[in-house]
Amino acid sequence: MTRSEGKTGSWLIGGAGRSGKTTLATTLAANSRTVAGFPLEGVFHVYLQRHFPFFHHQRLRVMREYLSRPRYINAARTEVEYPTDHFEADADKLIAALPDKIDNPVALFGWLFDRYAESRDRMNWAVFDLLPELRYTTYRRLIPGIRLAVMQRDPREAIAEGLFWRTYPDPPADRARRFKSMLFQWSLSCAVTRSLSLQFGNDILPISFNELLTDNSDEHSRVARAFDMDVAAVREAFTFHPSFTFTEGLGFRGPDGAWHHLLDDEELEQVHAVANGRALHPDMRALLALAPHAPVLARSIGDTLIYPGTNMIRRINAFRQALRDTEAGIRLALQAEVRS
């Protein structure tokens, strides 16, 4: 099944962490008639933030790196899969068919996933990532017509799971900062998604993870129509009880089936406040006001305020990576000049 050239009908799947993005992607892979869900994280943002001088000469290098980049698939980060596990051709075969007009890494990955969809006899694809909504306007320019589905989960559940999923039943050592980071991510996703919905209409699809789990027929029908699936298949895919489900009076149901009050009263108060559009922290209120206008900047400032040391290390590593990418671009361009 091949899509005609022009605008894509494919999807990015976004939302804050622990909101059901992977579940939606695997559901599409198993049930959609026209959309091939990819089971691993897209990490488009990693390459969007890098600079590749002489990109035409670096395309094979970038493709090889992307296809062999490991993706962790468990909480302990001990199990990995690779995109090459899911593509039927290797980078050298794929690059031979790459159109000359591909001049940036995001367009390159869009073309790669077009091939992935074709190999599964689907017209389009869907790839999940962390907060692609922040860069959606850029992705839309680089992959014309790309649409965005945003998974949204009860903030108490998403934040509790993000806080505890690697250390349960104990909290992480940096609990206060980690909590604020998860709270900020959830709030940022909601603020930006609302803004994008006003700007791009039906190309933005907010999806309630909780409504899918509670057998909401309207939500099942919306998802089935958007991704060309049978309603029964959507219902069946979301017939399960995820860990960290919240119930008043009981708290959160952990992976072991036990109920715990994982968030204290102050944390629950902060979650309740942001869910109702009034963050308690002045710095977060300011950043959420900025988010619809400059989402990437808002995220960057927030990360710097919450994790200044980690953010500095990331900037240093990004500079080192830029030097490596520049060196590679110059070297490959010179080699191509010699061969010609």
How much is the CA Rg of the chain, to the nearest whole Å?
A: 21
Is residue 323 one of the residues assigned to a domain? yes
C-alpha dihedral sign at 224, 227, 233, 234: negative
pLDDT at 4: 43
Using an 8 Å Cβ cutoff, are 152 and 19 in contact? yes
pLDDT at 5: 53
CATH number of the domain residue 59 falls in: 3.40.50
Using an 8 Å Cβ cutoff, are 261 and 163 in contact? no
pLDDT at 6: 59
Is residue 56 one of the residues assigned to a domain? yes
Is residue 2 one of the residues assigned to a domain? no
Is residue 3 one of the residues assigned to a domain? no
pTM metric for this prediction: 0.95
Is residue 4 one of the residues assigned to a domain? no
Q: How far apart are CA 259 and CA 275, in angstroms?
A: 23
For residue 237, give its domain range.
Answer: 11-339
Is residue 5 one of the residues assigned to a domain? no
pLDDT at 3: 42
Element (H, E) at 229: none
pLDDT at 77: 77
Is residue 55 one of the residues assigned to a domain? yes
Percentages of the chain per state (helix, strand, coil), in multiples of 5:
55, 10, 35
pLDDT at 8: 80
pLDDT at 327: 98
Q: For the chain, list residues with pLDDT below 70.
A: 1-6, 75-76
pLDDT in tens, 157-169: 999 999 999 999 9
**Hey, what are 66's tokens?**
């992307």
Q: Give the number of domains in the chain.
A: 1
Is residue 283 one of the residues assigned to a domain? yes
Q: How far apart are CA 33 and CA 244, in angstroms?
A: 32
CA dihedral in degrees (60, 62, 66, 68; nearest 10)? Answer: 60
